[in-house]
Chains A and B, each alone.
Chain A
Amino acid sequence: MHLPFRSKRALRTVAVAAMVGMTALGLAACSSGSNQASSGSATKGTINWWGWTPTNSQEAKDFIAEFNKKYPDIKVNFKLIDITSYDATIRAALASSGGPDLFDLQPGARVQQFGPYAEDMAPVAKAALGSDWKSKIAPIAISGMTLKGKLTALPVGSTYAGMLWINSQLFDKYNLKPPTTLDEWKKDCQVFKQNGVGCFVQGAAQEGFDQDTLQSISNSVEPGLWTKASQGKAKWNDPTIVKTLSIWKDLFDSGIMQSGALGAQQYPDANNQFLTGKYAMIMMGTWYTQYATEKAMTEAISAAGVAGAKTFPILPVAFPDVAGKGHTSEMYGDADYGLAVASKSKNRAAAETFAKWIATTKQGQQVIANRLDTLPTLKGIKPDFTQIKFVDPSLQSTPVNDLLKKVGSVNEPREALLSADVQNAILAAAQSVAGGSASPRQAANTLEQAAEAAANQ
């Protein structure tokens, strides 16, 4: 088929126009749009909130429903993004003009990477809580969300780790006590295995949870050294870290860690194995408190693919003194997540209203507290246990309350000080030692080199 053109010039004109048009379209699509549009109304409008948590969408809907009781004219759309693809999704969204108005941030790598694209929330916190706002929020939550003096997000909740969760039914059934030393841990595992029950389950394929176990071991060897290394005040090949990796290796060799742990992910693999009663212990933090309740545990067991879920009481216990030096591991924690308002949002005022309500008001924080998923950051807010139903209140009420009291004094950070490069290097060290391809000393040296290289970038 032939299309006649009046002249070469006409053809060229059409071609050039088409090229320019397509390029303009492409550039328009790629352009970032206006950087600082109007901030919009603070009491009405539609805002889009993107996050990897709350992982239970119903939880987010409950938050929004409570919020709408006070602000009925602000519609909040929550978009749940799987944590494994969150960074890729949010990176592209923040670079464009079509991203979220509100997004989740977490201390550490995410605050470092995406914090520059968020509004400073310090003025919002000051407006809501007064000039002494810092004294009204858990300090660990503020420090984790602060980047170069800017409060990148209002901390919604905080999480703490450094303990084990046990299936108390299994311990009772085999007449065992929670381990307090490495030897006791090994003996408990032998008994469980003799009875065909899994002992301790961990998804060692993921860095975050390996870090928790390693930080706890390190605190057992020498409290505080891990944090010093995270701050750059100690080397990652310090003898304490070498000893930590040796004990980590022992967990695998002695059969405490389940077979195939290096190929397992904490979510869903390890989590499902524990919640379906196949294993007696798991390394989880305060976010696991929610599964002490009948409702959340039933939902979680059903989500793990078990019909007719039978709940069982879970209890938090201190991480064993695996180094045998008398140091029971201190807990450590960060802001679980905070809500950041995107600098490019055209609805910043409404987005700030929602973030302010959920993070700084008693009403918003009480809703957070009662879910027992993440702990409220606003001081003085506690879960309302008259509304919370434990699986076995007589067994769980005291340990859970003790745990919630204990975290109030925690000041050791969990991931806030670690860059993505260092976290990746910690995972490589943990896996190479556990897999036997490197000795603890070799792995520690490699980790130190990677940390130095990351610091120099």
Chain B
Amino acid sequence: MSGYIRDAKTGEDLIGATVSVKELLGKGTGTNAYGFYSLTLPSGQYQITSQYMGYEPQVQQIDLTAPRKIDFLLTSQDNALGEVVVTSQRKNDNITKLEMGVQKLDTKDIKNIPVLFGEKDVLKTIQLLPGIKSAGEGNSGFNVRGGAVDQNLILLDEATVYNASHLMGFFSVFNSDAIKDISVYKGNEPAEYGGRLSSALDIKMNDGNDKKFSVNGGIGLISSRLTVEGPIVKDRGSFIVSARRTYADLFLKLSKDTTLNSAQLYFYDVNAKANYKIDSKNRIFLSGYFGKDVLGLSNTFGINWGNSTATLRWNHLFSDRLFSNTSLIYSNYTYRININNGVELNIISRIQDYSLKQDFQLFAGTNNTIKFGFNSINHKIIPGVITSSSIVDLKTLTNKFVWENAFYISHQHTFSDKFSVEYGARLSIFSSLGPGNFYTYDSIGNPKDTTYYKAGQFVKTYANIEPRITLNYILNQQNSVKASYARNVQNLHLISNSTSGNPTDLWIPSSNNVKPEIADQVSLGYYRNFNNNMYEFSAEIYYKYLQNQIDYKNGAELNFNENVESQILFGSGRAYGLELFLKKKYGRFNGWISYDLSRTERKFDAINNGSYYPARQDRTHDISIVGMYELSKHWSLSATWVYNTGNAVTFPSGKYEVDGKTVMLYTERNASRMPSYHRLDIGATWIVKKTLKFESSWTFSLYNAYGQENAYTITFQNNPDDLTKTQAIQTTLFKFVPSFSYNFKF
């Protein structure tokens, strides 16, 4: 039997919904990313149950004599406030599923968790989960299991998003109204994902309601948003368009400073998606994202940056057992700088991908699923082009051309109702191509040789095999243990030496000088559910060894440097830790506690005499507590509290004077610590009206509710009041940031 599982009200595909067979305990399967499932059973009569988190389970009695198509339409429990649906069968997916190191986020959780400026944010919310750490105050960058920020593969409907930040990271590019499903794989992703060392964040956009038109939106303190969705042809196709715009610069008008009050500072983004079912075997999807940040200072300086992505997908069923998806993907990240200081200068930099991706899923019998496919990507990186109306002969950096191919196969096999395994491998082939000059460098970083390669000529090719395996042993319906090993290879590297990440940070490909980064991770986990699956507990430990890691020479010149590869140092690293997670999944009060104990270190010959030192993102303790409570039919409350050890930093260990200026003396890299960080955020939602036709609500939040002065930066300087002394200055960004927004849906 095979078919689709969908939402009865909107027609949205349900990803990861399950079907189980009453007569055959332990037999069952889940839907793939397109809501499709296939289950092979011997002929007979069965009672099949389809379930999905937050939906009423559905039971169908079927008589299976020949292959049959059976679709399930599940009804959302519709989280009508105060009403708690008690189902006798609660899901224990976390116990039985053959995956570990995965965090899935319910979009309903995102909507309830209080955030900075009240802007619901996927990337801020995942930072509350075990193993995923914020890269800094208000930063949408994140570190997974000791990895760097650029070691996360961020996919929006399969398209790579190269810069997931708006406004320097205070917001992420993902509009939560447009998002259906979020999964984070923490280093042991299945073989179909590849290209980054630490994690894969797979974000899928809503398909749109194919039953009826609906509009929802919100008006907030600094941003507004609007989503329109509806059928193209009822039950066969739908569309969704979701847009938002911030107007932070309105606040700047209040400033007396003429530079600030005439400044531009805003971003907008648009998500759009359409799908159409051609027949029962073919379906097409077209989705896209476009976003832009604009920052301008009174016509003399301007910068804008943004991502755009587009994905065209074709789902095809070759048979009830062979599912195919073909995708054509486009992705682009561009920044432009305009300077008009008498002489006009324009700078453009870009990374652009064209990609073809083919995935097959073969449901080969009851106990076997095989996935295989390939992905071919053409990358073009324009590190920087300067143009000017008045100056000719400006320096331009050499463009980089890359052809990246990957082939993968994985086999999921169930040995018994207790023991299952998924193993596979990914072959990644990365080729750096001409045209352009390629350099080799001497020991101090001066260019030694220059070789010119013609267009399409292969400069350097790296081929790597990445084995992956996950084992699951179910002790009983409440307990399981899992183990996994995975190798990941990364061939695109983000060059950034700033603590907060800049829109102008540069992606460089592996080349004759830059080797692929490699990570090997082993992990072991224990999963336990309590109280009829009301509580979910997990403990995972991991050890990761990293090769060809990147750091920078002292005083490295990373901006607009043709020889940026000469400024890089290569070394190794290791990361290990324990992650504990306890979640209460149901009830008026729900939420979770997450705790990490971890260490992440790097080793470079030229840094700290070649001994292991803590990476910047090393934090011994990291705790997140999230609670949500439904007070009444109209009011619900939420709160989060986070605590973490401060990042490793390099503070001076002395000072001296040169040319009348005080200069700090540094001895060891990352030998000091920022002060530890903690913060409470609270939020409330007031549902004013909720009927079938119209819903409206207010959300209120208070970020940093007890006004903790957390250190954003610490700088060292002469005391301006007494030049014979020096002092350390701590900058705190956000103390008590209140916000509210009005939301509606009809």
Do these two chains interact? no
